[in-house]
Amino acid sequence: MTTLEPHRPRRLAHPGWTAAAGLLIAAAALLAYRNTFGVPFVYDDLTAIPGNASIRHLWPPSPGPVETTVGGRPLANYSLALNYALGGTAVGGYHAFNLAIHVLAGLTLFGLVRRTLARGAAGRPATADALPIALAAALLWTVHPLATESVTYVVQRVESLMGLLYLLTLYCFARSVDSGRPRAWQGVAFAACLLGMATKEVMATAPLMVLLYDRSFAAGSFREAWRRRRGFYLALAATWIVLGALVLETGGNRAGSAGFNVGVAPADYWLTQFEAVTRYLGLAIWPHPLVFEYGPFRAHGLLAAAPYALVVLGLAAATVYALVRRPALGFLGAWVFVVLAPSSIVPVATQTMAEHRMYLPLAALMTALVLGVHYAWRRGGWAVLAIVAVALGCLTFQRNRAYASDLSLWADTVARRPGNANARNNLGLALFHAGDGPGAVREYGAALAIEPRYPGVLNNLGNALEAAGDRPHAIEAYERALALEPDYPAALFNLATALDAAGRAPEAIPHFEAVLRSSPNAADAHRGLADALAHAGRSEDAAGQYGEALRLDPRDADAEFGLGNLLARSGHPAEAEARYEAALRINPALAAASNNLGLLLCRAGRVTEGLPRIEAAIRLQPGFATAHFTRGMALLQLGRRDEAVGEFETVLRLRPNDPPATRMLRLVGAAP
């Protein structure tokens, strides 16, 4: 096969034009994504950023918690740590970082395509319009709405950062081919590849794509590429060792979410991928409807998958043919299939389809589109491509509006995939947090109609019912969740809390203990157990659990409050007063602590000190019937009978037929 001579590319465009093209790409990206900087953390962002303690420090770097999206991906996790160091959990900085990654990736794609076209494929002449073609390809890719999930959804930085490093590996290799100092560029390519392996597993395909690029655009054959650059390819292959170590660190299956041992039948998964890849390709051409979360859908047999298989296998065959006959075109097709291969071959338990997987393949498709339009229409094609770029940018801006809140994102997802139980569950959560309890219960019911054996939905349903005051049905929902997953920590904790609140403390205690067996450092479980023990009359055991809760979390105001109650009941008013004061220093809005402190002071004869504390509790919580009763008793101590009567009457309005208030009204001669 014919090979190209090194160091003889077509002369590149004037640097001024190149800089202008780069500025245009950056400006277009900023315009398309200008409404993303206030997008809140959503879905997996919450565990990977606010819930990720490993990003609270820059050194030593952490591989990330295995149960999060950044688990086993230390570079992605470290980038979040950098964001945290600069701005805590303020979302704007994270989005700016994501957009900067995307812009740099677009500029790298521009450089790669421009240099490749200026060089020409093996045995073929260089392209005269390298710069405008490269600009159009990078521009379309940068503003394409199919990339929004990798840019706007913060935690999918793992995809965009890996994509940047993947492109950088190819670009630096392309520079090395024509450089007078090839080893320097190869060294940077190696570094980018190594960093990519620490970002996401798909980077495993990068050494193969560099070799294919060499064969298609430089050496002309695999044999010649190996002969010229054997050491470089061995160095790239060595980066797989790093990736392998990181994969093993997550258990070899990303903590049970991806692999051949995660409960997903490989054959079913592979059949489903024919539909997934077909949809990906369709969305690249016509980006509607875009879906944030597809759920774990499966292909229903070979016959259902057959139409999609014909499309994918036909395109794969065409790619193989092109690799033999038209290497440059074949390289673009191979780029799509090779990059998608890891997520299409290795079963993923949580997502059988995800739009962020198209981040890199989309670059190849947009390049192919631009080349096709250019060679079909020549000069007339530029106007068409400009119109397409503007349209795609507008669609990206529109798509980003769906991310404005949890509620809008999941409502959009349910509208597009109404049969997705996971989306229904998350819409229910969003409605619950927005204060729409009935709406949340409705969505949880819809999710259970789709997937009756869904412990997470049952747990969330229990929370919504508990908040609505329907404790018996809440307890039933938690018990159903635990019947499906007996060791489900959240359901165990919530059931225990509900049982304790229902006056069934002895039943609650074993459930709190079960939580602590799996999570011994859970401060809230120690405090919950302490509350239940106190209600069951086991004061000494309760005190020990409150102490453990405070050891684990010294700023647990509720634990301080609970310990204060224990001390007050056991005849240690001075120590109880100190605990109530500590609770209020931690949480000045804790109305119950303010009321109990006031009651303690009044009982000690310090009514003038206690009454303001009680009144503060009422200001914090105007419907706090117990505080109104306590104020009535304090007013009686001060001889202010009429005001006391008013307080007892307020208690009866809040709690009709309340025995203590009724009794006090009778005692003061103002029986209702």
Tell me the per-residue pLDDT of 617-671, one tens digit each, with 9 for 90 and over: 999 999 999 999 999 999 999 999 999 999 999 999 999 999 999 999 999 876 6
Q: What is the pLDDT of residues 219-241, one digit of tens each?
A: 999 999 999 999 999 999 999 99
Q: What is the DSSP string of 528-592?
A: HHHHHHHHTT-HHHHHHHHHHHHHH-TT-HHHHHHHHHHHHHTT-HHHHHHHHHHHHHH-TT-HH
User: 588-672 has which CATH code?
Assistant: 1.25.40.10
pLDDT in the model for residue 122? 52
> What's the rounded mean pLDDT across residues 162-191?
96
Q: What is the pLDDT of residues 297-336, one digit of tens each?
A: 777 789 999 999 999 999 999 999 999 999 999 999 999 9
pLDDT cut 70: percent of the chain above it:
96
pLDDT at 347 over 70: yes
pLDDT cut 90: percent of the chain above it:
89
Is there a cis peptide before residue 588, judged by omega within 30 degrees of 0?
no
CA distance 579 to 598: 13
Q: How confident is the model at residue 263 (pLDDT cuts 50, 70, 90)?
A: confident
pLDDT at 565 over 70: yes
| Domain residue ranges in the chain | 26-402, 588-672
pLDDT in the model for residue 125? 58
pLDDT in the model for residue 1? 36
pLDDT at 19 over 70: yes
Q: How confident is the model at residue 124 (pLDDT cuts 50, 70, 90)?
A: low
> What's the rounded mean pLDDT across residues 378-395?
93
Contact 73, 257 (CB under 8 A): no
Tokens linked to 281:
């390709």
Q: With CA atoms as reference, report the closest residue to 40 among 31, 32, 50.
A: 50
Contact 169, 182 (CB under 8 A): no
pLDDT in the model for residue 324? 95
Continuous segment of H or E residues that includes residue 667: helix 659-667
Q: With CA atoms as reference, report the closest residue to 395 among 316, 470, 319, 283.
A: 283
pLDDT in the model for residue 209? 98
pLDDT in the model for residue 296? 80
Tokens linked to 373:
């339009």
User: What is the signed CA dihedral for 77, 83, 89, 94, rounded to 10 degrees?
Assistant: -90
Identify the weakest region by mean pLDDT among 129-143, 256-270, 617-631. 256-270
pLDDT at 9 over 80: no
Tokens linked to 250:
């997550």
Beta-carbon contacts of 598 under 8 Å, excluding residues fewer than 6 positions away, are 610, 611, 612, 613, 614, 615, 616, 617, 630, 634
User: What is the signed CA dihedral for 622, 627, 628, 633, rounded to 10 degrees?
Assistant: -160
Radius of gyration of the chain (CA): 32
Q: What is the pLDDT of residues 82-123, one digit of tens each?
A: 999 999 999 999 999 999 999 999 999 999 999 999 986 655
pLDDT in the model for residue 2? 39
CA distance 257 to 591: 43
Contact 445, 80 (CB under 8 A): no
User: What is the signed CA dihedral for 179, 187, 219, 121, rounded to 10 degrees?
Assistant: -70
pLDDT in the model for residue 8? 46
Q: In the 8-state DSSP scheme, what is residue 44?
A: T
Q: How confident is the model at residue 380 (pLDDT cuts 50, 70, 90)?
A: confident
Question: Rounded mean pLDDT of the chain?
Answer: 94
Question: Position of tokens 């690029």?
Answer: 213
> What's the rounded mean pLDDT across residues 397-414?
98
Question: Which pairs with CB-CB distance under 8 Å and at least 24 residues apart come from 430-434?
Answer: 430/405, 430/406, 431/407, 432/460, 432/463, 432/464, 432/467, 433/406, 434/407
CA distance 661 to 656: 9
Question: Position of tokens 């020549």?
Answer: 378
Q: How confident is the model at residue 5 (pLDDT cuts 50, 70, 90)?
A: very low
- Helix then strand then coil, in percent of the chain rounded to 5, is 75, 0, 25
pLDDT in the model for residue 444? 98
Q: What pTM did the predictor assign?
A: 0.90
